[in-house]
Amino acid sequence: MFRVGRAPIAVARLLGAVRDPAAGASVVFVGTTRNENAGRRVVRLEYEAYTRMAVREMRRLADEASRRWTLRRIAMAHRIGLVPVGEASVGIAVSAGHRAEAFTACHWLIDRLKEIVPIWKREHFHGGRVWIGPQQGAPPEPARRGRTASPGGKRRRAARRRSG
């Protein structure tokens, strides 16, 4: 199961997707919207994605993780749209024969997902909003006056040309 969508992340569904009789361990990571970041009171997060490419990259990461470690199954889900404080933005589940591989692979997967999967996050806080994190290794967008543009727009167009 590899999904990017607006529906809340169902942790039980992630866990069910990695169930395997040969697995001695299943690890689930759930990233949630927290109420504070960088000294600001966070109200909610908002995500945008180049959905088809994001799912393709999730599958590619799962294939790479399966080459690195002896894993049984992998499931990944990321939410787009508004995600209130306390709700899940991302979920990853991994099953393996042993816990060390499951933990290590799950940790690697969330780190790589945040680095390369074309999903962009905007933090809404009391007093403003700001795009967070340089996805795909790009430097942060310079501060702009007034309405902020999506950092994903230019990257999505470039990604479409590359995958075209």
Up-side HSE of residue 159: CA atoms within 13 Å toward CB? 20
pLDDT in tens, 106-160: 999 999 999 999 999 999 998 899 988 644 333 344 344 344 444 555 444 444 4
- Residue 29 contacts residue 92 (beta carbons within 8 Å): yes
pLDDT at 97 over 50: yes
Rg of the chain on CA atoms, in Å? 17
d(CA 48, CA 67): 29
- Residue 154 contacts residue 50 (beta carbons within 8 Å): no
Among the listed residues 70, 45, 63, 54, the one whose alpha carbon sits nearest the alpha carbon of residue 115: 54
Amino acid at 139: P
The pLDDT, as a whole number, for residue 146 is 41
Q: Report the 10 Å Cβ neighbour count for 108.
A: 17
pLDDT in tens, 4-28: 999 999 999 999 999 999 999 999 9
Which residues on adjacent β-strands are paired with residue 47?
Answer: 81, 121
The pLDDT, as a whole number, for residue 132 is 83
- Range of 103's domain? 2-163
The pLDDT, as a whole number, for residue 152 is 53
Task: Kindly report the CATH number assigned to the domain that includes residue 77.
Answer: 3.90.1170.40
* Number of domains the chain is built from: 1
pLDDT in tens, 102-116: 999 999 999 999 999
pLDDT in tens, 56-72: 999 999 999 999 999 99
